[in-house]
Amino acid sequence: MTAWESSRRPRIVRVDGDFPGARLTRIWETEPGLKGWLSSVDHKEIGKRYIITALIFLVLGGVEALVMRLQLAGPDQHVLTPEQYDQLFTMHGVTMIFLYAAPILTGFSNYLWPLLLGSRDMAFPRLNALSYWVYLAAGLFMYAGFVTGQGPDDGWFNYVPYASRAFSPGINIDVYALGLILLGISTTVGSVNFVVSFLRTRAPGMSIDRVPILTWGTLTASVANLLAVPSVSLAFFLLWMDRQFGTHFFGASQGQPLLWQHLFWMFGHPWVYAIVLPAMGMVSDALPAFCRRPLVGYTPVALSTVGTMALGFGVWVHHMFATGLPSLALSFFSGASLIITIPSAVAVFAWTATIWTGRPVIRTAFLFFASMIVLFVIGGVSGVMTASTPVDWQLTQTYFIVAHIHYVLIGINVFPVVGAVYYWFPKMTGRLLDERLGQVNFWTMFIGFNLGFFPMHLLGLMGMPRRIYTYGADMGWSSMNMVVSLGSFLFAVGILLLFINIAISLKRGRIAGPDPWGAPTLEWSVPSPPPPYNFAVIPTVESRHPLWEHWLEETPARSRLDEGLLLDRGRETIGTTALDGEPNLILEMPADTIAPFALAGGLAVTFVGALFHAWWLAGLGGAVVAASLVAWFWPRRVHADMDKADG
Amino acid sequence: MSYLRTYGPRADPATGLMWGLIILSLAVITIITVLVLLGILVRHGRGHVDAMADLPAQRGSDGLAWFYVGMPMTVVALVAALIWTVAVLAAVDSPASRPRLTIEVTGHQWWWEVRYLAPDPSQAFVTANEIHIPTGEPVLVKLIGADVIHSFWIPALTGKTDTIPGQTNVAWLQTDRPGVYEGQCAEYCGLQHAHMGLDVVAEPPAAFEAWRRGQLRPAPIPSDALALAGREVFLAHCGSCHTVQGVDTRADAARARAAGGALGPDLTHLMARSSLAARTVTNSVGGLSGWIANPQALKPGAKMPATFLSGPQLSATVAYLETLK
């Protein structure tokens, strides 16, 4: 038994009628109005904001893609100038990779984690709010450049020397460099929060072999971010210094252009895994609910999640096979890139086996999750092809790679995310999405996606390079490109149907109740939408499937959901030990505060000042940051909230 | 531009490997797709399910047999792919015999400078956007980046190797089959990345030798008056960027100073090339006139500015360029 580290031991009580909910609501709810909105540190509120913001960026990035597909639908088109095309493909990549794919998963994890783990909030609610506001600021910062025609235009990979001042004299690249450093702050504080929340805020009894796979995915991604983001932030900072102060880190004469590529891909490849592992976790958790059985191979899947990431740090050079590195080095990275398939195969077999040993119930969410297995395999085997160095010398920089990354990012991120929307929308809103429209939604997306992206493999094999704004009629690529464009528009219609379904169901969707799917995990034990405090009493967990114990009958003891620790003296949740989930302290959680918003605003002002060399403005922003930090760390009176709640 | 079929020892081993991996990939996709579909069809509950929440969950079998069967198959396939990969890497690393001919290819925004090196400087020459090689022997290609990173790629003969400023990369070309092989810059390099093609012309050794000797000849002084007038226009308007061997253009001095940079292709034997502006325009009288009159209309952002020549000046210039055979 672990030592109890708090002066007070909470009582164990039963939930009875309104007790202790009404009192907890007063303690936890965010006050109405603008100030409350800007001050909220509720993980559910922040999670929803993340999801909505990321979906808006998905639409923006999607529209950018559609405009490019108009330009490429036929040969020698003049819809766009080369400069416009370059900014569009750059912003499309930046938007989808940085402003949609990662934040959408952060949003779901933010919303779901405390509910999955049996906690009242994330470990650091204010960092959580800060992470969102900084993300929003970074997104607006980069889009402000784009809408004024000064957006990044050297691809999301931003290779030097093209990104150096000699070849890109405008502020375009500075917008990207500073924007991404700003975004890195958001990712970093968000990741710290996930890591600590995973280790310390699980419900009593939830040892680390009982957590949902989604939390393994997000934990792994967060640890990876903490190791990978410094590399890209440093790279962009050095580049900005090169451009503004002539520091020559990357210049061809006094620096080394390949250094940029190493730093970028040491970040870039782990990042790719960071934006798919949590989504794979969603499938691992939700697919079994529709198959009416636990996931096959929990332990191998959890281990392979972590294993993927560990190997993911050793494969970055496969983005650089054509840079003239010696063959011996290339064979090492070829080997690592092939071996990384093994943990992915574990997941594929686990999901397929779950279908075969379960009794699948076909719902829209299930269709998205099950089809993801196939899309994942297509993206996976094309990844194996590119992992083989001599083959990659042909495939790289062609549309084959465009096909590959879209099967990876849409197949393993967008499809699970849309499935997750169908699955968790009832929890977030209390209403189910329309099932019939949902099936139309799925088939439109699935057919549109494969029609739009599978032919890209063939275009790549026919030699069509990436990032060309036009091509000649004599190249033989025209009809295939027309098919791709038609498919991409059909796919966009599919996404539109999702939004239509959301809009309709928000008002008229069927009432969900707490657990419409008969699902196994803790979030389904609370009302939909959950109350501000999540759990009236802290549940005690005895298995991986606390809501399925009466069916599975595998554990001698049963999880206790409506009887548990009463924590009602202010915003409190329980702290547990890292491995076993033994409760050993009461975590006092902060009240709503405007400090994270002010801090993010100050940071944004600082970066705008740096962009324009308006150092007074940067200084002003810095002062706001400092003031916000003082407010943030100002000592709080212990249990001040309790008195208020009592009064 | 396709590389599904290739024509030489630098590319062929990788093409075989690629086909092997394509077949393996299609097999894996088919197997898993069938398994997922079949699993759903066979196992899904009969009849309409109204409330999922009422359906009991049960574990049944543990399903681990899937790993015991699937994982060894996966590992065997991957190890085989790795061994084949390493074997191909070793096979294409360097040519079987020592190349007698070395070409230096420099990537510029947005064209290719091609320099035939020779121990005897009088045997060296420069051309652009078109590489001639003799069939039946390996040719070494040194790759240099003049400004930003480009990538040298002749799909039917060799995969990509980047041209990176500050470092010299090496590729090699070899084929037994005479013909024209298309290539294209394969690393995003700015506005006109789309128009940065090059051709490799493989010809029997005798034909190659004839071409080489032709390239070594300086440009003749034109005999007819129009071309002679065009030569003056060329010297006044084009000579600061373009060189013609045997003519003292300002670009010669500038090239010595800057060694690369914004300068344009050497035009000594322009008429021996099939296209202009890195395969943007066909090399014909019409194509040439249109290109000189307004390069920005055909290749927006290209480093060659509009020349603002009068009609007679333009036709004289074209007449002169037509003599550069």
Q: Does the distance separating the beta carbons of A82 and B192 come in below 8 Å? A: yes
Note whether A210 and A354 are same-domain residues: yes
Between positions 30 and 69 of A, the ones with CB within 8 A of B are: none
Spatial contact of A231 and A277, defined as CB atoms under 8 Å apart: no
Radius of gyration of chain B (CA): 28
Tokens encoding B251: 């670009």
Residue B324, pLDDT > 60, answer yes
Spatial contact of A460 and A403, defined as CB atoms under 8 Å apart: yes
Tokens encoding A6: 């708090």
For the segment A43-52, the average pLDDT, to the nearest whole number, is: 98
d(CA A130, CA A111): 15
For the segment A131-158, the average pLDDT, to the nearest whole number, is: 96
For the segment A93-106, the average pLDDT, to the nearest whole number, is: 98
For the segment B257-280, the average pLDDT, to the nearest whole number, is: 82
Residue A634 in domain? no
CB neighbours of residue A260 within 10 Å: 25
Min Cα distance B214 → chain A (Å) is: 30
d(CA A523, CA A428): 10
Please give the mean pLDDT across all residues of chain A.
95
| pLDDT at residue A641, as a whole number | 43
* One-letter amino acid of A442: F
Tokens encoding A351: 């999901």
Residue A194, pLDDT > 90, answer yes
Nearest CB to B57: which of A327, A374, A552? A552
d(CA A188, CA A195): 11
* One-letter amino acid of A7: S
Residue with tokens 């699970």: A416
Note whether A333 and A390 are same-domain residues: yes
| pLDDT at residue A151, as a whole number | 92
Domain that holds residue A67: 34-508
Chain B residues whose beta carbon lies within 8 Å of the beta carbon of residue A399: none
Residue B257, pLDDT > 60, answer no
Grouping H, G, I as helix, E, B as strand and the rest as coil, residue A300 is helix
Chain A residues whose beta carbon lies within 8 Å of the beta carbon of residue B32: 348, 352, 373-374, 377
d(CA B186, CA A468): 9
Spatial contact of B106 and B151, defined as CB atoms under 8 Å apart: no
Q: Is the full-model pTM beyond 0.90? A: yes
Q: Which helix (H) or strand (E) holds A583?
A: strand A583-588
* One-letter amino acid of A61: G
Note whether A19 and A153 are same-domain residues: no
d(CA A134, CA A147): 20
Which of A567, A588, A609 corresponds to the end of one domain? A588
The CA-to-CA distance between both ends of chain B, in Å, stands at: 28
Nearest CB to A257: which of B39, B149, B160? B149
Spatial contact of A257 and A249, defined as CB atoms under 8 Å apart: no
User: Minimal CA–CA distance to A602: which of A72, A185, A2, A319?
Assistant: A185
User: Minimal CA–CA distance to A335: which of A327, A323, A347, A345?
Assistant: A327
Grouping H, G, I as helix, E, B as strand and the rest as coil, residue A142 is helix
Residue A405 in domain? yes
| pLDDT at residue A278, as a whole number | 98
Which residues are registered as beta bridge partners of B133?
Answer: B202
Residue with tokens 């006094």: A254
pLDDT digits (tens, 9 = 90+) for A422-441: 999 999 999 999 999 999 99
Q: Does the distance separating the beta carbons of A552 and B149 come in below 8 Å? A: no
| pLDDT at residue A608, as a whole number | 97
HEC string of A408-426 equals HHHHHHHHHHHHHHHHHHH
Phi then psi for residue B100, to 5 deg, are -90, -20
Residue A636 in domain? no
Between positions 64 and 83 of B, the ones with CB within 8 A of A are: 64-67, 70-71, 74-75, 78, 81-82
Residue B51 binned pLDDT confidence (cut-offs 50, 70, 90): confident
d(CA B150, CA B168): 12
**What is the domain-level CATH number for residue A189?**
1.20.210.10
HEC string of A378-396 equals HHHHHHHHHHCHHHHHHHC
For the segment A475-482, the average pLDDT, to the nearest whole number, is: 97
Q: Which helix (H) or strand (E) holds A494?
A: helix A478-508
Between positions 349 and 378 of A, the ones with CB within 8 A of B are: 349-350, 352-363, 370, 373-374, 377-378
d(CA B114, CA B211): 14
Minimal Cα distance from B185: which residue of A? A465
Nearest CB to A552: which of B59, B148, B166? B59
Note whether A528 and A486 are same-domain residues: no
Among the residue ranges A613-622, B47-56, B267-276, the one predicted with the least confidence is B47-56
- Measured between CB atoms, does A292 come within 8 Å of chain B? yes
Residue B255 binned pLDDT confidence (cut-offs 50, 70, 90): low
| pLDDT at residue A647, as a whole number | 33
Note whether A187 and A48 are same-domain residues: yes
Residue A1 in domain? no
Note whether A306 and A289 are same-domain residues: yes
Q: Best mutation site among A304, A341, A357, A475 for testing chain B: the one with the most B CBs within 10 Å?
A: A357
Tokens encoding A119: 């906690």
Note whether A21 and A55 are same-domain residues: no
In sign, the C-alpha dihedral spanning A460, A464, A468, A471 is: negative
Calculate the alpha carbon distances from B187 to A396, B108, B151, B300 in Å: 9, 12, 5, 19
Grouping H, G, I as helix, E, B as strand and the rest as coil, residue B202 is strand
Residue A183, pLDDT > 80, answer yes
| pLDDT at residue B259, as a whole number | 47
| pLDDT at residue A543, as a whole number | 96
Residue B276, pLDDT > 70, answer yes
B306 vs B12: which has the higher pLDDT: B12
Nearest CB to B89: which of A162, A331, A475? A331
- Measured between CB atoms, does B160 come within 8 Å of chain A? yes
The CA-to-CA distance between both ends of chain A, in Å, stands at: 37
- Measured between CB atoms, does A19 come within 8 Å of chain B? no
pLDDT digits (tens, 9 = 90+) for A153-180: 999 999 999 999 999 999 999 999 999 9
Phi then psi for residue A324, to 5 deg, are 90, 15
A7 vs B195: which has the higher pLDDT: B195
| pLDDT at residue A5, as a whole number | 74
Grouping H, G, I as helix, E, B as strand and the rest as coil, residue B144 is strand
| pLDDT at residue A643, as a whole number | 41
For the segment B71-98, the average pLDDT, to the nearest whole number, is: 96
Note whether A347 and A213 are same-domain residues: yes
Which of A477, A508, A539 corresponds to the end of one domain? A508
Tokens encoding A287: 């697919």
- Measured between CB atoms, does B154 come within 8 Å of chain A? no
| pLDDT at residue A286, as a whole number | 97
Residue A255, pLDDT > 80, answer no
Residue A430 in domain? yes
Min Cα distance B225 → chain A (Å) is: 38
For the segment A3-15, the average pLDDT, to the nearest whole number, is: 83
Among the residue ranges A159-173, A264-278, B73-87, B243-257, the one predicted with the least confidence is B243-257
Residue B19 binned pLDDT confidence (cut-offs 50, 70, 90): very high
For the segment A406-416, the average pLDDT, to the nearest whole number, is: 98
% of chain A at pLDDT higher than 70: 97
For the segment A124-144, the average pLDDT, to the nearest whole number, is: 97
Note whether A236 and A116 are same-domain residues: yes
d(CA A350, CA A355): 9
d(CA A166, CA B92): 36
| pLDDT at residue A637, as a whole number | 62
Residue A252 binned pLDDT confidence (cut-offs 50, 70, 90): low
Note whether A502 and A522 are same-domain residues: no
Please give the mean pLDDT across all residues of chain B.
93
Residue A473 in domain? yes
Grouping H, G, I as helix, E, B as strand and the rest as coil, residue B281 is strand
For the segment A258-275, the average pLDDT, to the nearest whole number, is: 95
| pLDDT at residue A59, as a whole number | 98
| pLDDT at residue A646, as a whole number | 39
Beta strands at B281-282 and B111-117: parallel, antiparallel or unpaired: unpaired
Spatial contact of A341 and B70, defined as CB atoms under 8 Å apart: no
Residue with tokens 């490849």: A269
For the segment A65-71, the average pLDDT, to the nearest whole number, is: 98
> What is the set of domains in chain B, with CATH numbers?
101-204 (2.60.40.420), 225-322 (2.60.40.420)
User: Minimal CA–CA distance to A130: which of A182, A174, A179, A180?
Assistant: A182
CA A283 to chain centre: 14
| pLDDT at residue B262, as a whole number | 46
For the segment A537-545, the average pLDDT, to the nearest whole number, is: 96
Phi then psi for residue A376, to 5 deg, are -60, -45
DSSP string for residues in A107-119? HHHHHHHHHHHT-
Min Cα distance B301 → chain A (Å) is: 8
Residue B47, pLDDT > 80, answer no
Tokens encoding A392: 């990659």
Spatial contact of A435 and A517, defined as CB atoms under 8 Å apart: no
Phi then psi for residue A208, to 5 deg, are -70, -5
Calculate the alpha carbon distances from A486 to A446, A447, A452, A461, B134 in Å: 14, 11, 7, 20, 45
* One-letter amino acid of B122: S
% of chain A at pLDDT higher than 90: 93
d(CA A293, CA B100): 68
Residue A108 in domain? yes
d(CA B163, CA A322): 9
| pLDDT at residue B46, as a whole number | 67
Residue A521 in domain? yes
pLDDT digits (tens, 9 = 90+) for B144-185: 999 999 999 999 999 999 999 999 999 999 999 999 999 999
Note whether A539 and A581 are same-domain residues: yes
Calculate the alpha carbon distances from A501 to A101, A438, A492 in Å: 21, 7, 14
Which of A465, A484, A508 corresponds to the end of one domain? A508
Note whether A253 and A313 are same-domain residues: yes
How many domains are there within chain A? Answer: 2
